[in-house]
Structure 1
Amino acid sequence: MDRLPLLSTLAGAAIGIVATLIADRNRWKREDDKEALRLRLDIYTQYTSAVKVLGETLRALGRPDGPSQGWWPRRYRGHHAFPMLRSDRLGPGRREL
């Protein structure tokens, strides 16, 4: 009995399976890289937004007339800074900074 056609068929099938696995792995890796980039850009956007809000808040606190936006709590409007930011309320931890 001739075994060469059987071995050729098995070798072809093995090569096809390996090629498919490699192609799937490359596709998975490419999709994973895209997802990681999207997630990183989303985190960078959130960080930049938080820094912007912080800058606006600190700028409002630094004004001589204090914060005047409508969203600011009424008890803090007109003050130079939040009471918890005044130096007499920082506590003993301020010396460690």
Structure 2
Amino acid sequence: MDEDDHTISDEDEEEFEGKRKRKPPKKAAKRQKFTEVETEEIKTYFSEYLKSGICRRKPQVEHAKQKSRKKNGHIWKRSSNKIIKKISAMNHKKK
């Protein structure tokens, strides 16, 4: 076995170095807790779902967000998936 089998030629080394660029680290998203006002608003709009333990999906959440915006509420500023997760967490917390 020759030593040349394990070495990289100058041309191959330049190609290899070109692909080894590091990406800058991504910034972690800051967690924003639900305020008590938002939690109470969720309880009013989704009370029947919280009683039954069912988590509603996007169409129902979008409808509640529209109501919230008309009534100068706060949950309309949140994304739908965050509201769904909050409802799910509230249901699990009851158990």
Give the TM interval when normalised to the shorter protein.
0.3 to 0.5
* Higher normalized helix content (fraction of residues): 1
- Bigger RCO (CA 8 Å, 6+ sep): 2
Give the number of the structure whose alpha-carbon radius of gyration is greater.
1
